[in-house]
Amino acid sequence: MVIYGIVFPRAVFAEQSKITIYAVNYPPYSIEFPPKNELRGFDVEVAIAAFDQVGIKASIEYMPWSRILLRAKQGKIAAVLSCAKAASRDSFLYFSAPISNATNSYIAKQSYTGKIPQSLLDGQGKKITAVDGYTGALELKKAGIPHHSVTNDEAALNMLLKRDFDFFYSNREFIEYIAVSKDLTSQLKYFDLKQKNFHLCFSQKWPDAKILLEQFNKGLSIIKDDGTYDRIHAKYK
């Protein structure tokens, strides 16, 4: 079997005919409990479709984000979804070509009347919450902006709405999805700062991780060229 000009034994190829990708419930990117329309999340659908193009059957498992990163660092899992680049991850993850993007926002209560933040540093002096281990919390820490870390987005939303916090720093697309499902849309406002890319990430300690990365990128290119990628995203609009 020849892949990108390199010959691999049949046994190695057989081992790569399946892959398990680990994710957190992060709609609309990944949805652990799909609604009746069976939408599984556009990053999930893209990952499965891209691997299918190169003859690899992908399945999705869910677990907490901190455990996913730890197991990826240990080489106990192959792939992570949806994954943003961060310097702290460069030593143990390979990043695919971008599969989607997200908008980093300071999210506030509708009643917020303070200064409108134009940059991350405008959060200085504000009471901010963020999810521990996510790139938002890592960015705040790197910028030296004090914040209160919580274990998940729903906990952060509760703190924002029910306690004396100014901002929740997170991904706008995800929080908008959650807000609709919990009838919170009218209670929130968003101050968008920048966009970031999401990737499918591979543990550097996983056997043949670079081969899997190349195969995935090849499949991703195919589904972007043939329109599959756009058709997947169109279902979520």
61 and 25 both lie in a single domain: yes
Q: What is the pLDDT of residue 209?
A: 96
Q: Which domain holds residue 16?
A: 2-100+198-234
91 and 109 in a common domain: no
Do both 27 and 72 map to the same domain?
yes
| Percent of the chain surpassing pLDDT 90 | 81
Residues 75 and 53 in one domain: yes
Residues 128 and 136: their CA atoms lie apart, in Å, by: 11
In this prediction, residues 138-159 reach a mean pLDDT of: 93
Q: At what angle do helices 153-162 and 172-181 cross, to 10 degrees?
A: 70
For residues 163 and 83, state if they share a domain: no
Nearest to 19 by CA among 189, 186, 203: 203
Distances (CA, A) of 118 to 124, 128, 193, 227: 12, 15, 6, 36
Q: How many domains does the chain have?
A: 2
Contact in structure between 23 and 30 (CB atoms under 8 Å): yes
pLDDT at residue 110 greater than cutoff 90: yes
Asked if 132 and 150 touch (Cβ cutoff 8 Å), the reply is yes
CATH number of 185's domain:
3.40.190.10
Q: Helices (H) and strands (E) in the chain — how many of each? A: 8, 11
> Are both 41 and 148 inside the same structural domain?
no
Instruction: Check whether residue 35 and residue 71 sit in a common domain.
Output: yes
Is residue 17 domain-shared with residue 88, that is, in the same domain?
yes
- pLDDT one-digit tens code per residue, 39-79: 999 999 999 999 999 999 999 999 999 999 999 999 999 99
Say what the pTM is. Answer: 0.80
CA dist., res. 213 & res. 162, Å (int): 43
- Strand blocks (E) in the chain: 2-3, 6-7, 18-23, 57-62, 79-83, 93-95, 100-109, 128-131, 148-150, 167-171, 188-203
| pLDDT tens column, 15-45 | 579 999 999 999 999 999 987 768 999 999 9
Smallest Cα–Cα separation from 123: which of 169, 158, 58, 91? 169
**Do 56 and 141 belong together in one domain?**
no
Q: Which residue has the tokens 């994710």?
A: 23
Answer yes or no: do 18 and 63 share one domain.
yes
- Which of 81, 127, 88 has its CA nearest to residue 108? 127
Tokens of 28: 């609309």
Same domain flag for 46 and 73: yes
Q: Is the pLDDT of residue 12 over 50?
A: no
- Verify that 130 and 16 share a domain, yes or no: no
Q: Are strands 6-7 and 2-3 parallel, antiparallel or unpaired?
A: antiparallel
Predicted local confidence at residue 37, as pLDDT: 67
